[in-house]
Amino acid sequence: MAQSVLILGGGLAGVACAHRLGDEGLPVTLVDRNDYQQFQPLLYQVASSQLPAEDIARPHRTIFKDYPMVTVVTADVAAANLGERSLVLSDGRTLTGSHVVMAAGARPNFFGVPGAEQHAFPLYSVADAERLRRHLQQSLQQCPLRARLSRAWSTWWSSAVARPESRPLVRWPS
């Protein structure tokens, strides 16, 4: 059987693996339910309306346009059979390879806390960030004074973090 690799998951690990194997000339099939890779460390900026979602998500096809050995399949995976090195997609197709890489990411765990799943705001995806952003906007619209204070705090914090030279110099006693 010729060498080929199936990668389940198109996040940071799956994309890095596909890049490396594609550089080595191995045929790779990357499978993910989304047609984009998100940069999770910036999800909080989408949630706080500092960045649009498009700024932290890149289409897989763009990422791999210079990688002819990498094929991207956008689909949900219904089952993984690691013994047979295959993935069964929700549309009924079965993909097989000589190797399977599981890079499916994580899900929030609410540890059985009653009500947490219904009322918490996890921040694992672009959809989560947009849901939190809508909630924050609705909450702030109900309290105009808090909205102004929140914007002022956000502006100060962003400028202090982005431009350390704008922070006052602190000298500790010797």
What is the pLDDT at residue 139? 82
Does residue 87 belong to any structural domain of this protein?
Answer: yes
Give me the CATH number covering residue 15.
3.50.50.60
- State the chain's mean pLDDT as an integer: 87
Q: Does residue 74 lie within any of the structural domains?
A: yes
For the entire predicted model, the pTM comes to 0.76
Per-residue pLDDT tens over the stretch 53-105: 999 999 999 999 999 999 999 999 999 999 999 999 999 999 999 999 999 98
Helices within the chain (DSSP H only): 12-23, 43-47, 60-63, 116-119, 126-141, 144-162
Q: Is residue 115 part of a domain?
A: no
State both tokens at 131.
């849901």
Residue 145 inside a domain? The answer is yes
Confirm if 48 and 25 have CB atoms less than 8 A apart: no
Exposed/middle/buried for residue 71 (C-beta within 10 Å: 0-12, 13-18, 19+): middle
Q: pLDDT tier at 125 (50, 70, 90 boundaries)?
A: very high
Query: Looking at residue 20, what is its pLDDT?
Result: 97
Domain of 44, in residue numbers = 1-105+123-161
In a domain, 168, yes or no: no
Nearest Cα to Cα of residue 130 among 33, 47, 43, 63: 47
Assess if residue 113 is contained within a domain: no
Q: Give domain status of residue 116, yes or no.
A: no
Tell me how far apart the alpha carbons of residues 52 and 138 are, in angstroms, rounded to a whole number. Answer: 18
Number of folded domains in the chain? 1
Kindly state whether residue 95 falls inside one of the protein's structural domains. Answer: yes
